Chains A and B, each alone.
Chain A
């Protein structure tokens, strides 16, 4: 059985869904799965990793890894890969993942497939499906010739089954190698929202120019609160300064793939459509029946969003008993 390393990200001490997907995928493909957990707050996540397919977890229990630092993460992950002897590496395509793994790939003289949406295994080779042009096309990336095969997967792309029972005995504490640190993390400034990032969200309520002014995003926040959703936006309203760029969905913003995407007052420029067509179910609410967004939508409503959105929020409340 080949070994496969999974980078186990955690938040508020719990293993993130994106990492659970990867652990379970590795196990389902008969790899010997090794989890890597970084930071002194990772004990619980390390145990959760053993309940989700890891036969061994390398736990770098060190406060220096509590915040993200590219050089310290690099040192720990490189040590983890070397210690395990794994030639296959899976990690979430998160802020940290997309920052540290390309560098690690170069250090290991390897290639990387980033931001992937599907994954298969042929013999000993990882073959990852990767979006191009934010989702206007796709390609299969074959990593056969890479000394270490590294794939970064987007969240919510792989199925998750119920966890088994944890095996705390499989958690091995590993020391962080010494690093001659250059970049120093001085501070982390929290975002306005504590919600899941757009790239991880299962439900997104997104607004465009049809909302007429920044203050009207409040309607979408109300709906998002009922649905447990994250609020997104089109480029037009980001460029108008109504909301921050971190909320932009599209080719020059974030590419998203939630289960449910509700587009409110968004006409559907080609760049926006590219960023959200991976969504499973798309709802479009717009007053223009010819808006391009309807060509990508599963359900469409032509009408006045200022009337429909509050009523829809009430309907969601009723159905979800809130």
Chain B
């Protein structure tokens, strides 16, 4: 079996976000980058499938400025992926542009039986690229997956929906699945894994060549959240505090 894992490099969740001058974008200078947390579940699941199914090959693929984003491929390789594919792109692509470039790279690499990605990237909160690639590859998809059982060429998956409910699907391979928290516990990379990953030669593609001029939307006018007005602290003993808070929520904030 051949598995692809789509990985995005994102700022660490601890990052304090600052804007560029003229609100032209987010200032990424000095930011610490990590593997998108949901993509770690996708990597782990792929490696687990490989361990159970000898002969399986796992390809990690990412898109972005290649010097920087290659780091996430090294992490994926250290966790147990076999090959790394980087699609170099120095311009801001929209979700359709990213999906087209990744789908084209996967096709050029001969396609796959299973593509795993995270359910969303925590930087742009998109959750769109996975289902888009599925459409471009002509494969079915299930998103927000918290359980996966593979039997032969059929995947039985649980998809998390509103209110903690779950939809259970059966879907034939090849298919595209996006991973939610709960799918597994991602492993730490082993030291030998890290050493081996460092030496691995990555396959390189150019987004421009794979899918040029395909973006259909543009993000502009970046802003930070409005500053909240200063907090009103409520003093007194517990009874007085509770009474005063309830009153203020009703009379002042008018939310009760």
Contacts and interface: CB of A to CB of B under 8 A. Distances in A.
B65 interface: no
A283 B249 CA distance: 9
B125 interface: yes
Contacts of A157: none
A280 B225 CA distance: 12
Interface in B16-40: 16-17, 19, 26, 37-38
Interface in B91-109: 94-96, 99
Contact of A132 (B124, B136, B246): B124
Given A106-B132, A191-B164, A245-B181, A297 B241 contact: no
Interface stretch (B1-9, B42-50, B80-88, B210-218): B210-218
Contacts of B170: 183-184, 186
Given A110-B96, A301-B233, A319 B246 contact: yes
Contacts of B215: 111, 145
Contacts of A199: 162
A316 B136 contact: no
B73 to A, nearest CB: 22
Nearest to A181: B140
Interface in A137-176: 137-147
B252 to A, nearest CB: 9
A144 to B, nearest CB: 8
A130 interface: yes
A296 B228 contact: yes
Contacts, number: 278
Interface size class, chain A: 35 or more
Interface in A22-49: none
Contacts of A283: 245, 249
A319 B95 CA distance: 48
A112 B238 contact: no
Nearest to A243: B164
Interface stretch (A56-64, A81-89, A97-105, A206-214): A97-105
Nearest to B176: A103
Best-surrounded residue of A102, A105, A247 (most CB of chain B within 10 A) = A102
Interface of B: 11, 13-17, 19, 26, 37-38, 94-96, 99, 122-136, 140-144, 146, 156, 158-172, 175, 180-182, 215-225, 228-229, 231-234, 238-239, 241-243, 245-250, 253, 255-256
Given A70-B141, A139-B221, 12 more contacts: A68-B167, A105-B128, A111-B215, A111-B216, A142-B220, A145-B215, A183-B170, A186-B168, A188-B167, A271-B13, A301-B245, A308-B242
13 contacts: A67-B167, A94-B162, A99-B131, A105-B96, A106-B96, A114-B95, A137-B17, A138-B223, A139-B219, A183-B170, A253-B181, A271-B13, A299-B232
